[in-house]
Structure 1
Amino acid sequence: MRRRAVTSSAIASVGYEESTAELEIEFVSGEVYRYFAVPRSVHTDLLSAPSIGRYFQRHIRDRYPTRQQ
């Protein structure tokens, strides 16, 4: 999955695969997590949020099944 760099103190890059509804997040620590069954609107809102890290914590973390890559 291709990720694009984002401006965030916590998140380095974000990728999304629409056909499988998978969101991939690379943290500045280098850890990469994949989140499953994530609606496209969540990905869009994440990228347009004033704070990507805060949006992640409030709307993605602990809300979707995940696996560390």
Structure 2
Amino acid sequence: MPKTYSAPAPFNDDKERIDVAMTSVQSNQVKEIGYDAATKTLAVTFTRGAGAIYQYPDVDPQLHADFLVAESIGRFFGEHIQPLPFKKFKAPEVAA
């Protein structure tokens, strides 16, 4: 039986996006991780795809810290972050 995939999540309005400083990480799946302590927003970009930014609201600072130092960032993401509610935003446009 062929594997079925859910439809991609729609993009949210860019006005809702929180500006979060991102840090590159060593992972085959995750490209960058960022965290805004004031709003408890975790931001993630991935190595594949068009560079969309996924923002996870109400994330405990300890979960962010554990994510950054996980032995396998991709596995940690799948087990602890992926199930959380998120907002998806288009990749920021790069100035020419």
**TM tier, shorter chain?**
over 0.9
Identity of aligned residues (%): 34
**Is the 1:37–1:65 Cα contact (8 Å) retained in structure 2?**
no
Q: Which residue of 2 aligns with 1:7?
A: 26
Does residue 1:35 correspond to 2:52, yes or no? no
Instruction: Structure 2: give runs of 5+ residues left out of the alignment.
Output: 1-19, 90-96
Ranges in structure 1 where 5+ consecutive residues have no aligned partner: none
Separation of aligned partners in 2, 1:47 and 1:3: 12
Q: For residue 31 of structure 1, report the CA deviation from its aligned partner.
A: 2.4
* TM-score of the two chains, using structure 1 as the length reference: 0.93
Offset at 1:68? 0.4
RMSD: 0.8
Look up the SS of the partner of 1:45 in the other structure.
Answer: helix
Return the TM-score normalized by structure 2: 0.68
Higher share of residues assigned strand? 1
Which 4+ runs in 1 deviate beyond 4 A? Answer: none
| Number of equivalences | 68
Q: Are 2:58 and 1:58 aligned?
A: no
